[in-house]
Amino acid sequence: MYIKELALRNFRNYESISVDFSPGINFIAGPNAAGKTNILEAVSVISNLRSFRNVPDSEIIKWGDNTYFCSLVLGDSACEKFEIGCSFQFDKIQKKAKIDGLIKKRISDYYGKFLTVIFSPEDLSITSGPPDIRRKYFDAVISKVDIEYLENLNDFKRILAARNKLLRDIREKKKNRSADLEIWDNMFAQRASIILKKRIEFILMFNESFKASGARISENEDSPYIEYDSTFSSNNNNGIIDELLKRRDKDIFLASTGLGPHRDDYVIFYKDRKVFKNSASQGQKRTAAVSLKIAECEFLEREAKQRPVILIDDIFGELDEKRRNKMMDIINDRNQVIITAVNQDSIQIEDYSCVQRFYVLPGGIVERL
């Protein structure tokens, strides 16, 4: 799939623009703070319903306004037109998503239909940050191709919140409501079991691409791999219920559920089981972040049988030339790519076909070069 045209209204510093993209490589240059990343952010909002910068929609609306709108038209895809409209009034965000003119009320009817993979400097936090960033990231990746996973996860979150509330009630009102807790434990275990099995199955597959792309980029330096680290020792229903029961008193005391998919981690190791986060150099961390995203591209392509649009935000300055070229080799021109950089000459793209260059001027003016 590829973006033919992107249109923004009151999105960050853009009042109203429309950009026609090439199905090949699109290179957006321009000075700092001109609005290059904002363009990629808009594409990510349309793809994922939220910004890759992890900010609320209220920050995205152009200052002084209370609505934003972004839309795009795809080529080579079952669905053509994607639209997101968002308004912020009386401290409340309202967001609407449409595909081909039809409003999609459920996230699962929208999510995963327009696929993108973003490479950004913040990717370092996925490989080296706290576990919740990794959980969020992998949940998002799996959900793109597995709606059942997404729906289970949403159910699980609701059940977890209800269970925690009940734990608090039991603790505070000193009521004995163990019969109620049993009901929630059963529901919790059923969803947790599905989530765990899917995550473990996913990571086995994902690891192959992750290790292979790591080896390709760093030319067989010791490349890391990922292991799922579950807080439960079992991933079947009854095993989970038993473990919840054993921990029940502690959960009540803390009024929170201490075990489960919401506490698990994806740990990255080197071959000798050194923990990546603690022992990798800055360069190795960058390589691993890039390998992760290449693995995501391969995973999405394999599972969805569609090539995602690749968004690359200003990361070339952080990779040495060898790794930069390797990365471009791997991505090459099979996918549509949109790259931003301050410097127009930061990468060699002359050899590729279908190259379109843009220049963004401060004030949100996008020129085709």
Which residues of this protein are in contact with Mg ion, per CB under 5 A? 37
Partner whose binding site includes residue 63, from ligand ADP, Mg ion, none (CB under 5 to 8 Å by kind): ligand ADP
Instruction: Using the minimum distance from each CB to ligand ADP, give the nearer residue, 155 or 318.
Output: 318
Task: Report which of 194, 257, 247, 201 is spatially closest to residue 228, judged by C-alpha positions.
Answer: 201
Check binding of 261 to ligand ADP (CB under 6 A).
no
The minimum distance between CB 41 and Mg ion, in angstroms, equals 9
Strand partners, 92: 89
Residue 359 has a CB neighbour count (10 Å cut-off) of 17
Binders of ligand ADP among residues 78 to 107 (CB under 6 A) are none
Q: Among 1, 34, 118, 159, which residue interacts with ligand ADP (rule: CB under 6 A)?
A: 34
- Closest-by-Cβ residue to Mg ion is 37
Asked if residues 69 and 11 have their Cβ atoms less than 8 Å apart, the reply is yes
Check binding of 35 to ligand ADP (CB under 6 A).
yes
The minimum distance between CB 313 and Mg ion, in angstroms, equals 6
Stretch that binds ligand ADP, among 58-66, 192-200, 208-216, 286-294 (CB under 6 A): 58-66
Check binding of 12 to ligand ADP (CB under 6 A).
yes
Record the tokens describing residue 173, joined without a space. 């009102």
Beta strand 92-99 with 81-89 is antiparallel
Partner whose binding site includes residue 32, from Mg ion, ligand ADP, none (CB under 5 to 8 Å by kind): ligand ADP
Task: Please state, in angstroms and as integers, the Cα–Cα distance from residue 333 to each residue in 83, 89, 212, 289, 292, following that order.
Answer: 27, 43, 20, 21, 19
Check binding of 33 to ligand ADP (CB under 6 A).
yes
Q: Among 36, 134, 293, 323, which residue interacts with ligand ADP (rule: CB under 6 A)?
A: 36
Instruction: Using the minimum distance from each CB to Mg ion, give the nearer residue, 30 or 112.
Output: 30
Please list the alpha-helical segments (H only) found in the chain: 36-48, 57-60, 107-110, 124-128, 131-145, 147-173, 178-218, 237-246, 248-254, 276-279, 282-304, 321-331
Q: How far apart are CA 210 and CA 159, in angstroms?
A: 33
SS3 track for 58-70: HHHECCCCCEEEE
Instruction: Using the minimum distance from each CB to ligand ADP, give the nearer residue, 59 or 132.
Output: 59
Instruction: Using the minimum distance from each CB to ligand ADP, give the nearer residue, 37 or 116.
Output: 37
Q: Which residues sit at the interface with ligand ADP, rule CB under 6 A?
A: 12-13, 30, 32-38, 59-63
